[in-house]
């Protein structure tokens, strides 16, 4: 899911930066001190969890927990994902510095959409959590396919993104389990992203 | 007079040994790279190099000269203990036998040159949590000032 440097056109990467950097600023400004620790901890979790790989259909997929990050951080998820992707690019060569804007946009969009689903009234927690976890993976996968298509690689990547259905289902289940656990042990944790 | 002569001899020996040629061998499959330096500091450029394969002490497998950076490379045809003779033809000569393991492939070589995964993980987590602490401290201070 992390797009490496040199694959997408430079114009697209620059355009993605033009969207991502203002988004990082707008969604990350005026942070309260108590938000900082939560953001740091979730950044550390997403940083580590990306190393858990599963072999699937000749490729390997990994967890991202972008939906859960959206649920727990709300709009702060975007700057956290940007920072985490920066460290992943620098240390693990997951993605690249030129494609950081694109990757942040893709995964940040998944996370924010997960948050939007979480805030929808009248639905049970479990259903919202599964949907948020699922969308947290599928939205970045579909955006990635669209970007590949836009850069002249054809429409085949839309079919490739179907591989992520499995990862999205796993993430949906994990997100629901995490939400159920937090509801039981620390329900006030959700007040943060409901604001 | 005798003492002064002895002192000069010791000093000369110290200077000469300080400029002895050191060899380090790096595996860069399929090649082996030989780096030559004077006492591990300055490179030994254009020094004559003789390479002897294991079990053939009298027949040169290859000969040549180091480049201007004191580097020489060759492709070995077998594993074992290879003998290297480096002579800068200015009084500095070194002879060393160094084991070469052909079973080490390029991927293994590349991995050894990289930072290990665990170290990367610990580094990343340290940086993230460290920055979190710094930002928390800064924000708390800012928060106290505004109240």
Convert the pLDDT of each residue in A96-106 to its tens digit: 899 999 999 99
Query: B69 and chain A: CB distance < 8 Å anywhere?
Result: no
CA-to-CA separations, A158 to A54, A105, A153, A155, B78, in angstroms, rounded? 20, 18, 11, 6, 49
Q: How confident is the model at residue A60 (pLDDT cuts 50, 70, 90)?
A: low
Q: Is 0.80 topped by the overall pTM?
A: no
Query: A88 and chain B: CB distance < 8 Å anywhere?
Result: yes
Q: How far is B113 from chain A (nearest CA, A)?
A: 14
Query: A154 and chain B: CB distance < 8 Å anywhere?
Result: no
Enumerate the β-bridge partners of residue B22.
Answer: B37
Instruction: Taking residues A59-87, report their average pLDDT.
Output: 89
Query: B132 and chain A: CB distance < 8 Å anywhere?
Result: yes
Query: And the tokens for B54?
Result: 């294991």
Interface of B with A in 26-65 (CB under 8 A): none
Mutation to test the B interface, candidates A29, A42, A43, most B Cβ within 10 Å: A43
Instruction: State residue A115's pLDDT score.
Output: 95
Kindly determine whether residue A91 and residue B123, on different chains, have CB atoms separated by under 8 Å. yes
B110 has pLDDT over 50: no
Enter the DSSP assignment of B30.
T
Q: How far is A152 from chain B (nearest CA, A)?
A: 32
Range among A81-85, B92-96, B126-130 with highest mean pLDDT value: A81-85
CA atoms A138, A142, A147, A148: torsion sign: positive
**0.90 surpassed by complex ipTM:** no
Whether the Cβ atoms of residue B119 and residue B111 lie closer than 8 Å to each other: no
H helices of chain A, where? 10-28, 33-49, 66-73, 77-92, 100-118, 125-148, 156-160, 164-185, 191-194
A7 has pLDDT over 60: yes
Q: How far is B29 from chain A (nearest CA, A)?
A: 24
Query: A43 and chain B: CB distance < 8 Å anywhere?
Result: yes
Query: B117 and chain A: CB distance < 8 Å anywhere?
Result: yes
Mutation to test the A interface, candidates B116, B117, B124, most A Cβ within 10 Å: B124
CA atoms A5, A11, A12, A16: torsion sign: positive
> pLDDT tens digits, residue range B8-47?
444 433 433 334 577 888 878 788 888 888 765 678 888 8
> pLDDT tens digits, residue range A100-159?
999 999 999 999 999 999 999 888 999 999 999 999 999 999 998 898 888 887 777 777
Query: A52 and chain B: CB distance < 8 Å anywhere?
Result: no
Locate tokens 């988004």: which residue?
A23
| Greater model confidence, A86 or A5 | A86
Kindly determine whether residue B139 and residue A32, on different chains, have CB atoms separated by under 8 Å. yes
């Amino acid at each position: 899911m992390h797009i490496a440097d040199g694959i997408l056109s430079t114009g697209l990467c620059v355009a993605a930066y033009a969207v991502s950097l203002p988004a990082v600023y707008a969604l990350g400004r005026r942070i309260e001190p108590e938000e900082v620790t939560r953001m740091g901890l979730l950044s550390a979790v997403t940083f580590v969890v990306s190393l858990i790989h599963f072999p699937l259909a000749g490729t390997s997929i990994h967890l991202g927990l972008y939906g859960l990050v959206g649920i727990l951080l709300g709009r702060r998820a975007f700057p956290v994902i940007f920072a985490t992707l920066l460290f992943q690019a620098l240390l693990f060569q997951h993605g690249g510095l030129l494609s950081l804007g694109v990757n942040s946009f893709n995964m940040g969009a998944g996370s924010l959409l997960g948050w939007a689903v979480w805030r929808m009234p009248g639905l049970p927690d479990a259903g919202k959590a599964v949907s948020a976890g699922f969308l947290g993976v599928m939205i970045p996968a579909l955006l990635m396919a669209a970007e590949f298509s836009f850069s002249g690689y054809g429409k085949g990547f839309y079919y490739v993104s179907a591989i992520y259905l499995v990862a999205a289902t796993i993430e949906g289940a994990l997100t629901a389990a995490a939400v159920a656990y937090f509801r039981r042990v620390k329900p006030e944790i959700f007040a943060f992203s409901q604001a | 007079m005798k003492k002064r002569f002895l002192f000069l001899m010791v000093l000369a020996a110290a200077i000469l040994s300080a400029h002895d040629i050191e060899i380090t061998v790096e595996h860069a499959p399929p090649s082996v790279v030989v780096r030559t330096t004077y006492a591990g500091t300055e490179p030994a450029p254009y020094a004559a190099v003789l390479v002897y394969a294991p079990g053939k002490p009298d027949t040169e497998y290859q000969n040549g000269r180091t480049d201007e950076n004191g580097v020489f490379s060759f492709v070995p045809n077998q594993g074992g203990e290879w003998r290297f003779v480096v002579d800068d033809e200015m009084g500095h000569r070194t002879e060393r036998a160094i084991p070469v393991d052909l079973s080490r492939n390029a991927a293994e070589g590349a991995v050894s040159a990289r930072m290990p995964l665990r170290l990367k993980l610990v580094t990343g987590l340290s940086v993230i949590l460290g920055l979190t602490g710094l930002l928390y401290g800064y924000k708390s201070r800012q928060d106290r000032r505004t109240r």
